[in-house]
Amino acid sequence: MTLPSPPMSLLAELTHRCPLACPYCSNPLELERKAAELDTATWTAVLEQAAELGVLQVHFSGGEPMARPDLVELVSVARRLNLYSNLITSGVLLDEPKLEALDKAGLDHIQLSFQDVTEAGAERIGGLKGAQARKIAAARLIRASGIPMTLNFVVHRENVARIPEMFALARELGAGRVEIAHTQYYGWGLKNRDALLPSRDQLEESTRAVEAERAKGGLSIDYVTPDYHADRPKPCMGGWGQRFVNVTPSGRVLPCHAAEIIPDVAFPNVKDVTLSEIWNISPLFNMFRGTDWMPEPCRSCERKERDWGGCRCQALALTGNAANTDPVCSLSPFHNLVEQAVRNDTQARKNFIYRRFKN
According to DSSP, the β-strands at 244-247 and 220-224 are: unpaired
Nearer to other proteins, 52 or 272 (CB): 52
Residue 111 in contact with other proteins, rule: CB under 8 A = yes
Query: Where in 219-258 is the site for other proteins (CB under 8 A)?
Result: 220, 222
Is 25 annotated in some ligand binding site?
Answer: yes
- If the CB atoms of residues 148 and 297 are measured against other proteins, the closer one turns out to be 148
Helices 312-319 and 335-343: crossing angle, nearest 10°? 80
d(CA 73, CA 78): 9
- In terms of CB distance, is 100 or 231 closer to other proteins? 100
Q: Which residues touch 130 (CB under 8 Å, ≥6 apart)? A: none
Q: What angle do CA 343, 346, 351 make, to 5 degrees?
A: 115
Q: Is 18 annotated as a binding residue?
A: yes
Determine the Cα–Cα distance for residues 156 and 351; give it in Å rounded to an integer: 14
Please, what is the minimum distance in Å from the beta carbon of residue 108 to other proteins?
6
Q: What angle do CA 112, 116, 117 make, to 5 degrees?
A: 100
298 is in an annotated binding site: no
Rounded least distance, CB 6 to other proteins, Å: 6
Interface mask toward other proteins for 269-308; x: CB under 8 A: ----------------------------------------
**Residues counted in the chain:** 359
Rounded CA separation 240/288 (Å): 6
Residues 45-74 touching other proteins, rule: CB under 8 A, are: 52-54, 56-57, 59
Q: What does the binding site for other proteins look like in residue numbers (CB under 8 A)?
A: 6, 8, 52-54, 56-57, 59, 82, 84, 86, 108-109, 111, 146-148, 150, 176-177, 220, 222
Binding region: 18, 22, 25
